[in-house]
Amino acid sequence: MNQQTEVPIPPDLTARYSRSSAGRAWLAALPGLLQGRLEHWELEAELAPGAFPWNGHGGLVIPVCRYDGTPAALKIAFPHDEARVERHALTLWGGHGAVRLLESDAGTCAMLLERLDADYSLQTVAMEDAATVWGALMRQLSLVPDGRQQWQEFDHIAGRAEQWSDDLPAEWEQQGRPFPRWLLEAALEVCQTRGAVGRRSGHDVLVHTDFHFLNILARPDTAGERLLSGDGFAAIDPQPMIGEPEFAVAPLLWNRIGDLPRSDPQEGLRQRCRDFSVAAGLDAEVARQWGIAREVDNALWYASKPHHQGDLARSLWVASTLAGRTLDSLPAAHSLPEPGQEQTAG
């Protein structure tokens, strides 16, 4: 491939990575990285004229065609820890429950992936059917560690809990105590309990830690069977770790809050935690506990950032509701923004 391919960079990606010198350097290098991978893997970009590629928080994805005519997707991510280990998890899964990895290049954080249907995710699937699909995929993704070298690349969830035990109190003080102490203590109790159990249990699995509705896309050749089992869908963007599989339930609880019953959204949230846990054969109580800790960690991150007050309120609503004492100072559940909806420009 000799012809230069012009790929427009999505404005939100440009805005996000223009805020640091490392981000600006990556944005400047991105056209060359893209062109290099297109040429090396003999790909043709299939973007419509004037269309932007798909993108998430940490990279972009371009629909491409391989030299043999096979549709695929080229992903190039900003080189951060989660992006560096993604290819190892996809290699272990081998296309079972997750998008299939076709090629990868560690130096550019680039991957060539099976092309999924970016317009059909679990975000718009009825919750009962979504639980069935999610549970089936979760069972496929929960691999037990073996002797393959990729397992050495992942952090342990129990270690994350131990880190939070030290970091959360300091961040809570630094951010001016943005929520009541009892909620912080509830998260710390989870960290201490689950961290100790996780170190002792010996039941570790590979965990997709960002396993929410938008990160589950349909396989385009299974339109008639998409809701029959997990086989018609595949997970993307895994942010992989090793540890208790119940850690994966939490992102389902801070997304699609607008779908909770208006009559009792608090009980609806707790019921969703139970329903998805049961669908995957998980312990709903352990999932609830991890949800508290993960959302308190999220809340402290949002408290440190301008323009994230709605996100902060959502995390506090979820964490306190899971803890059984919904904070009364928060907006109503159906007024809370979905992740990514709030203005984040600095």
Q: Which of 210, 237, 297, 311 is catalytic?
A: 210
134 CB-contact burial (10 Å; exposed 0-12 / middle 13-18 / buried 19+): buried
Cα Rg of the chain, angstroms? 20
Backbone angles phi, psi at 71, to 5 degrees: -70, 145
Residue with tokens 């809990």: 161
Which of helix, strand or coil describes residue 216?
strand
Backbone angles phi, psi at 174, to 5 degrees: -60, -35
215: Cβ contacts below 8 Å, ≥ 6 apart: 121, 208, 235, 236, 237, 251
Query: Strands 59-66 and 117-121: what pairing?
Result: unpaired
Query: Token pair of 66, please?
Result: 């391989």
189 CB-contact burial (10 Å; exposed 0-12 / middle 13-18 / buried 19+): middle
Helix (H) or strand (E) holding 39: helix 21-40
Q: What letter would DSSP give residue 5?
A: P
DSSP string, 45-83: E-PPTTPPPEE-SSEEEEEEEETTS-EEEEEEE-S-HHH
- Spatial CA neighbour of 212 closest among 325, 338, 94, 109: 338
Judge whether 264 counts as a catalytic residue: no
Which of helix, strand or coil describes residue 306?
coil
- Spatial CA neighbour of 299 closest among 183, 212, 209, 192: 183
Residues annotated as catalytic (active site), given as ranges: 210
